[in-house]
Amino acid sequence: MSLLHLPVEVLQSIILETIPESIDNVALTCKKLYEASERYLVQHNILRRRFRHFAFDVVGSDDDERIHGTETFIVNSLDLLMKIIHHPIIAQYIQIADLRLLSATCNIKALREFLHKSPYLKEIGEDPDFWEGMIRHEALGHAEFLLLSLLTHVRELALPTNWRQLGVRGEDPSGAGNDLRTWQVLDHIVSRANERDTKDAALSKLKILRPFASSGWRSRHAMTLNTPFLAIKSLREAYIGGCVATDDGETAIPFSPEYPDYSPRLEKMELVGCTIGRGELRALLSRIPNLNSLRYAHETKWDSCGSYFDPGQALCTIMECTSETLKELSMRTMTQMGAIESTLSNMKGFKRLKYLEIDAAMLMGTEFRRDIIKEEFPYQPLCVPLYEIAAPRLVDMLPPSIKSVRILATPWDCRESDPRKTRCLRALIDGLCTERHSEGKLPRLKEVVFSALGNTIDNNFLDKYKAGWVTIPLQEGTELQPDFVPDFHERFGVPAEEYVESDEEDILLPVGNVELEDSESDEEDSESEDDQHF
């Protein structure tokens, strides 16, 4: 019997198996199949519109178009968890999940049944009754972990806003060991996601990790909390804000990599408003074997956490860990306290680097030397004396693979005239016209851009060097940022956070509206970034 001679009921049973991945294609195959599919298409389109790019509803937005047709108002992780328990097909529709903005309520009977059937809890020997109690009595944590275990088709994920409050492994303040239980579930999610033979495992299709926090003096959470997602082998891009990974014994947050390797497909990473120590930076990057693009905006946190930043050491670490793969590098100091310790004068170890964007202040330290191991948190003078500045030349510093360079010429102390900056900038440009081609030092270099604020650059420097392929655009305002920092804030709806006093506890609130970007990241649509920069 041919397919078209089957009864409509049988065809409809077949069509049910194609939802949600292929029903559109099946419905368009022929008239009879379309007629058989018609009864499902309306609901399919409603669910796809509601859940494909999922974000929690804002209380009071009853007329939201996304809710229309589903009568589904979801304001927190527990609401979504219960919805999936009652209608498991919903989990397969979610491709982009923004799990920020949380609250709580539940259906206890259905929740209990789900917990007793959960393969993730069963396989690691966890007590379902314990998890029921934790979900019902905790504002954050266990519902989110179980929700993650259901997201089998998600491609982009923004973790809950309060994810930063979860304890790292071995640090449960109550002493009950609840942190070990939650990390055990996370470990199992990672393990199953990375198994080749496990079909539709949770998070196995994850490609983009979105930020759940942003930059800001008081925006700080453990970098360790991002590691389970970095370890998922399908991940391609990671965007992380406000993380701390350094240990000064006081206000910092130590970093534990947790997993021996991170995703071999991870090619792009942005760290905005982060504070990362030299050893922690190596522990992070050494686990990412194929990193192509790194954008790092260093920020000092409250009580001077991260105020000691050695760009020479940091750049050397990045070069040693990514020398064979990195094509784009952008580094910026968002807050400046104390002196820039050292400058890396030789970046020729970057074998494939094409685009470099760097803060001029990072080139105003003493020359970095590997044979000198300095104290990690030393006493710092206000600035490096003029005669000790390394003042490297671009023709001597950069690798021959470089195509484009952008220097953010912000003065270290915001004075209108800074002789250290002037010396640094003049040294950078020295010999470029005569040596970049004639001696073959920088054969691929196409442009050098010095971005500066209108009142902070020497006019003599402007007159002498602003010509041809060297451009010096002047900007208005009081702050100069690399393009990726404001893009990070706007794209992911995570504006810089400000500190707000609360009667109960310190709370970080975002400034501005939060929106979910409509984006796709399918493998067939991926493209090379070799010719896209800054």
H/E stretch holding 143: helix 142-148
H/E stretch holding 298: strand 293-298
Contact residues for 470 (Cβ-Cβ < 8 A; gap 6+): 429, 432, 447, 448, 449, 450
H/E stretch holding 497: strand 497-500
* Distance separating alpha carbons of residues 280 and 223, to the nearest angstrom: 10
Query: Do 517 and 491 form a contact (C-beta atoms < 8 A)?
Result: yes
Query: Do 180 and 134 form a contact (C-beta atoms < 8 A)?
Result: no
Q: Which of 94-108, 158-172, 375-389, 436-450 has the lowest mean pLDDT?
A: 375-389
Structure tokens at 345: 């004068």
Residue count of the chain: 534
DSSP structure string for 35-104: HHHHHHHHHHHHHHHHHSEEEPPPTT-TT-TTTTTTT----SHHHHHHHHHH-THHHHH-SEEE--S---
Contact residues for 504 (Cβ-Cβ < 8 A; gap 6+): none
Cα–Cα distance list, 509 to 97, 157, 334, 343 (Å): 21, 20, 20, 36
- 396 has a pLDDT exceeding 70: yes
When pLDDT is averaged across residues 115-141 and rounded to a whole number, the result is 74
Looking at residue 392, its pLDDT comes to 92
Tell me the pTM. 0.78
Angle at 270 between CA 266 and CA 273, to 5 degrees: 145
Looking at residue 436, its pLDDT comes to 80
- Sign of torsion, CA 259 265 271 275? positive
DSSP structure string for 229-267: HHTSTT--EEEEESEEE---SSS-------SS---TT--
Q: Which of 453, 463, 459, 449 is nearest to 411 (CA)?
A: 453
Looking at residue 234, its pLDDT comes to 97
- Reported confidence tier of residue 413, pLDDT bands at 50, 70, 90: very low
Q: What digits encode the pLDDT tens for the residues 195-207?
A: 988 888 999 999 9
Q: What digits encode the pLDDT tens for the residues 150-162?
A: 999 999 999 987 7
- Rounded percentage of the chain residues whose pLDDT exceeds 70: 74
Q: What digits encode the pLDDT tens for the residues 291-347?
A: 999 999 999 887 778 777 889 999 999 999 999 999 999 999 887 665 567 899 999
Looking at residue 170, its pLDDT comes to 73
* Distance separating alpha carbons of residues 152 and 125, to the nearest angstrom: 22
* Distance separating alpha carbons of residues 200 and 189, to the nearest angstrom: 12
DSSP 168: P
Q: What digits encode the pLDDT tens for the residues 40-72?
A: 888 888 888 889 988 887 544 444 555 555 556
